[in-house]
Homo-oligomer: A and B are copies of this chain.
Amino acid sequence: MRELTVGIDIGGTNTKYGIVDRSGQVLSHGSVSTTKHEEFIDYFKSLAKALRDEFQKIEGEYKIIGVGVGAANGNYYKGTIERATNLKWKGIIPLADMFREEFDIPCIVTNDANAAAVGEMIYGGAKGLKDFVVITLGTGLGSGFVCNGQLLNGKHGIAGEVGHTSVNPAGRYCNCGKRGCLETYVSATGIKRTVYKLLADHLEPSELRGISFDNLTTKMITESAMRGDIVALAAFEYTGRILGMKLAETVVHTDPEAIFLFGGLSLAGDLIFKPTIKHMEANLMPLFRGKVKVLPSGLQNQAAPILGASSLVWNYLDNQPKAEVV
């Protein structure tokens, strides 16, 4: 009988789910609104119903062996979502317990960057690697660490907040309440802020001068840079320089074999990778130079968040103690 897992990615707007096999094939998928229901229980019921409907569509004999959930502020140890700023339900939501009760199968919850790291290990470019980092470049900057083959959770289940290391203590305001955090410079939002800073400081003409802050996207900045727009090019150089400088600090902490960049900004190819690698190497303690690869994620597609979430289940089951022969 085929063993299948459910991967769920709870985003601020939509919740995407998929039924995934061990090889990473998504057999069936769909989504429900994250924002429609005022009460969490009503949202959960709509999600559970959608999943049961989805199970009906799978052909042949199979068994659903677990649910993996990636969500901002997901806590691996407690199986909860805690005070997520991007969701309307406040307080602590016991998500894993609810799934366990509803479907009688294990449920693993973690934050989206940790899910991306496990996804990279099980299905992506980190197959066989035991020490690596995944940096997710979306609205913010998330990070997930695998050390010695295990997801690094930390004491309180919140390890890997590299997006909130400091670039400049007197720098840009951050959602976390501090100033100058890495994600205010290196993320989809960060590069927009950099474009606007450059447009303010410099006189160069730029096709980006005609676009409002709200309308500006990473894709537009990338396309402008590819057309040679001087401000867009400078924005990528600046973003890569800061990312490289900070990755050098991450490298000397955990000595990874590779760092994978995931998400919109990482799709800009050489525009982001070249300055990142150059400045990482220049800022590394010489002992580490030339040892750490910076690579695009092997999961650059729409299904990546679902794969990442579903991979939590395989990772969990692989790490359970084997039954002992007495």
| Residues of A bordering B, CB below 8 Å | 130-131, 145, 147-148, 150, 152-162, 164-166, 169, 176-178, 181, 245, 248-250, 252-257, 283, 285-288, 291, 324-326
Residues from chain B with a CB closer than 8 A to the CB of A159 are 147, 253-255
Cross-chain contact of A152 among B176, B245, B254, B326 (Cβ < 8 A): B254
Residues from chain B with a CB closer than 8 A to the CB of A324 are 325
A164-B285, A252-B164 known; A257-B155 Cβ under 8 A: yes
Nearest CB in chain B to that of A257: its residue = B155
Nearest CB in chain B to that of A288: its residue = B158
Residues from chain B with a CB closer than 8 A to the CB of A164 are 252, 285
6 residue pairs of the A-B complex, CB under 8 angstroms, read A145-B254, A156-B255, A159-B254, A164-B285, A178-B285, A249-B249
Distance in angstroms between the alpha carbons of A206 and B264 in the assembled complex: 56
Distance in Å from the Cβ of A167 to the closest Cβ of chain B?
Answer: 11
Distance in angstroms between the alpha carbons of A255 and B157 in the assembled complex: 8
Residues from chain B with a CB closer than 8 A to the CB of A254 are 145, 152, 154, 159, 253-254
Q: Are A147 and B156 in contact (CB under 8 A)?
A: no
Q: Are A152 and B161 in contact (CB under 8 A)?
A: no
Copies in the complex: 2
Further contacts, 20 of them, CB under 8 A, given A154-B255, A160-B253, A176-B286: A145-B253, A147-B152, A154-B256, A156-B257, A156-B291, A158-B288, A159-B255, A160-B255, A161-B255, A161-B287, A165-B252, A166-B248, A166-B283, A169-B245, A169-B283, A177-B285, A178-B285, A181-B285, A253-B253, A254-B254
Distance in angstroms between the alpha carbons of A159 and B177 in the assembled complex: 30
Distance in angstroms between the alpha carbons of A181 and B248 in the assembled complex: 12
Nearest CB in chain B to that of A285: its residue = B164
Residues from chain B with a CB closer than 8 A to the CB of A253 are 145, 159-162, 165, 250, 253-254
Distance in Å from the Cβ of A306 to the closest Cβ of chain B?
Answer: 26
Nearest CB in chain B to that of A181: its residue = B285
Distance in angstroms between the alpha carbons of A178 and B285 in the assembled complex: 7
Distance in Å from the Cβ of A33 to the closest Cβ of chain B?
Answer: 27
Nearest CB in chain B to that of A151: its residue = B148
- 5 shortest interchain CB distances as A-B pairs: A154-B255, A159-B255, A164-B285, A155-B257, A161-B252
Residues from chain B with a CB closer than 8 A to the CB of A154 are 131, 147, 254-256
Distance in angstroms between the alpha carbons of A254 and B252 in the assembled complex: 13
Distance in Å from the Cβ of A178 to the closest Cβ of chain B?
Answer: 6
Residues from chain B with a CB closer than 8 A to the CB of A286 are 176-178
Nearest CB in chain B to that of A160: its residue = B253
Among A130, A165, A253, A288, chain B packs the most CB atoms within 10 A around the CB of: A253
